[in-house]
Structure 1
Amino acid sequence: MGTEVVELDRPPRLGPLYRAAALRRGTAADPRLPERALVLRGVRVDREHMAEYDRVCGFRLRDELPATYPHVLAFPLTLTLMTGADFPFPLLGLVHVENRIQVLRPLLSSDAFDVAVRAEALRPHDRGTQLDVVATATIDDEPVWSSRSTYLRRTGTGSDRSTPDGPKERARPPRPSATWRIPRRTGPDYAAVSGDRNPIHTSRLLAKAFGFPRAIAHGMWTKARCLAGLEGRLPDTYEAHVAFKLPILLPATVGFSTATDGARWTIGVHDTRTGKPHLTGSIDTVEGGHGSGPPVR
């Protein structure tokens, strides 16, 4: 059976989706991912919104979209898919553990493109079950950008480690290239500009209810901040793969480390006191690259 394509005529409203997420309980007895892709055609960028995103994440104001910005544009479709009745897990409790973005062509704020979101690759993990949510952007059916987010549904007690082909943290963190002081408002500010209003990022009280001593930074904000730190030094087409490690408790002071051999950047964000990693990753040039799957027609 092929993937059903569901075309939306407008971006979904987030309020009802968050209410659905809050009410959802329980896991499907026989978990299966929905065999459908959600598509929104002719997406255009709100330049004022992108400027606010740039401010929150540390990018310079320019016409080219940050590599992480289409992830925000795809978020309403992602939330629609993951709060649907046929999605096997409640959204609350899923942990975003990895993200891989491919930039196959620089996107400009004047571009119109189609965005599609689907879920795939349900698989066992030693701490539960993993799955990928894939978002793609296409222009005239040609992939120009993709994002693959890996989520973990915890049910086991195994060790928490990167996937075998994923980026590994170093035994000792390198000397940071920069030190970031991240204010408490970073959580609410990114929630407002991204639409991702998970309370663990905005409320100390609700973060404690989920086991955190205080609110934590969004993983995708951390990735965006890393790419902003390399702005002007990355190629036009590249793949940025990161693993999210220990959460950043807000406010925080962290070290941002970079190294390159000319073909690959290695990046990391570490606690300045303990050296423990918050994020590890790599950035590689994509030569005539291909996205995370064929365009959805």
Structure 2
Amino acid sequence: MSNSSAAHEVQLTESPNLAREFARAAFTSGSRPGAMGTVPDTVLKLATTIDREQLFGYQKLCGFTPADLLPPTFPHLLGFPLQAKLMAAPGFPLPMAGLVHLRNEMVQHVELFAQDNPVVTVFAENLAPHPKGVTVDLVTRVEVDSTLAWESRSTYLRRGPAAESAAAEDEVPGVPEGLPVAKWRLPADLGRKYAAVSGDVNPIHLHPWGARMFGFKRAIAHGMWTYARTLSALGPRVLGPGESVVWFRKPVSLPSTVTLVRRPDGEDGIVAALVSSGADPKPHLITRWQRG
């Protein structure tokens, strides 16, 4: 992952309150310059600690065995409040409300544990035209004892007209064929349960009325929950150093039933997909994991 050229570093003393940042983003959404703007030259940094109660609750909800070893997706919870603070700031070009989490790339360099004292850094880059609008990347890095332990790149889409200069979309692996390896019934309150362990109180995940404000008939599951639940089903190997990419294809309405399919291990690692149940299944996400 590339380095940021940003020069304005802000050292935070506490993790931003997500509810407050969502409200601030909604209040300033009408003043955003959009695709004609530029990403801020701000780097947010926070020295933090791991809350074991939060960690164990997250592990149980996402299908991991509760332990001091962090799941590969857990560091996202440390960085997302910083992402939200950056996107809610008036100078951020795209309104946070309505952004679609399109893709996520994670690299686990070394194992992380509950007793670690991570330093989290977040910055934005790559405001770019897309066939479906415009995208921006939020980069998160986690260091322990000045050593890079984990990093991710979250790509968010603002829907709109495509620019002539828009690059082609990623080549996404196909849905693996074969019998399903798991089927999960997702309850209507899953979004509220995940919000309780993650702090992500985006209204589209909590209640149907909140989802309807953004064009959804029902609340939808957090994409990072579906990602974490899929990785946890791949077994303990994902807890070690490795790389994974997820493409979010279709929101998961709540309640619903979803099916996990996967391809046997290959030279390019494991490919798995979470698909809708029924006669004509559609992919909700496709992910590829490789050992580091």
1:147 aligns with 2:152: yes
Residue 84 (1) aligns with residue 59 (2)? no
**95, 99, 104: which one pairs with 1:94?**
99
Matches for 1:157-176 after TM superposition, within 5 Å: 164-170=169-175, 173-176=177-180
TM-score (norm 1): 0.89
In the alignment, the residues of structure 1 paired with residue 214 and residue 6 of structure 2 have an alpha-carbon distance, to the nearest angstrom, of 38
The alignment partner of 2:210 has SS state of helix
Q: Is the 8 A contact 1:56 1:186 kept in 2?
A: no
Instruction: State how far apart, in whole Å, the 2-side matches of 1:163 and 1:250 are.
Output: 32
Q: Hey, what does 2:37 align to over in structure 1?
A: 31
- AA aligned to 2:133 is G
Matched residue, 1:283: 289
The equivalent of 1:223 in structure 2 is 227
What is the alpha-carbon distance in structure 2 between the residues aligned to residue 53 and residue 253 of structure 1?
Answer: 21
**Which residue of structure 1 lines up, in the alignment, with residue 61 of structure 2?**
56
Instruction: Provide the C-alpha distance between the structure 2 equivalents of 1:206 and 1:163, rounded to a whole number of angstroms.
Output: 33
Which residue among 252, 262, 266 is the counterpart of 2:256? 252
Q: Supply the distance in 2 between the matched residues of 1:116 and 1:157 (Cα, whole angstroms).
A: 31
The 2-side partners of 1:140 and 1:121 are apart by 29
Q: Distance in 1 between matches of 2:205 and 2:168?
A: 25
Q: Give 1:173 deviation, angstroms.
A: 4.9
* 1:114-263 matches, cutoff 5 A: 114-156=119-161, 164-170=169-175, 173-234=177-238, 236-263=240-267
Is 1:47–2:37 an aligned residue pair?
no
Q: What's the CA shift for 1:165?
A: 4.2
1:35 Cα deviation (Å)? 0.8
Gaps of 5+ in 2: none
The letter of the residue matching 2:288 is: S
Structure 1 residue 268, shift from structure 2 partner: 0.3
The one-letter code of the counterpart of 2:59 is D
CA distance in structure 1 between the partners assigned to 2:162 and 2:37 by the alignment: 20
Q: Structure 1's 148 and 91: CA in aligned 2 closer, same or farther, altered over 3 A? A: same
Instruction: Letter of the 2:145 partner, please give it.
Output: D
Q: CA RMSD in A?
A: 1.9
Q: Bigger CA drift: 260-269 or 91-100? A: 260-269
Instruction: Give the deviation of 1:167 after TM superposition.
Output: 2.7
Q: 1:258-291: CA deviations, max 9, x gaps?
A: 22334400010001112110001100122xxxxx
Structure 2 counterpart of 1:13: 17
Residue 276 of structure 2 aligns to which amino acid in structure 1? D
1:294 counterpart residue number: none
Number of residue pairs aligned between Structure 1 and Structure 2: 281
Which deviations, in whole Å up to 9, do the C-alpha atoms of 1:65-99 show, x marking residues without a partner? Answer: 01111101112111110101111111101110111
Q: How many angstroms apart in 1 are the aligned matches of 2:171 and 2:44? A: 28
Amino acid in the other structure paired with 1:89: L
| Secondary structure, aligned partner of 1:144 | strand
Measured against aligned partners, the alpha-carbon deviations of 1:164-216 in whole angstroms (never above 9, x if no partner) come to: 5453333x754211111111111111112111111111111221222212111
Shift in CA distance, 243/163, structure 1 to aligned 2, threshold 3 Å: farther
| Contact 2:70 2:239 (C-alpha < 8 Å) held by counterparts | no
Q: Deviations over 1:230-249 (max 9, x none)?
A: 23133621111000011111
After TM superposition, the score normalised by the length of structure 2 is 0.91
Residues in 2 aligned to 1:84 and 1:132: alpha-carbon distance in whole angstroms: 16
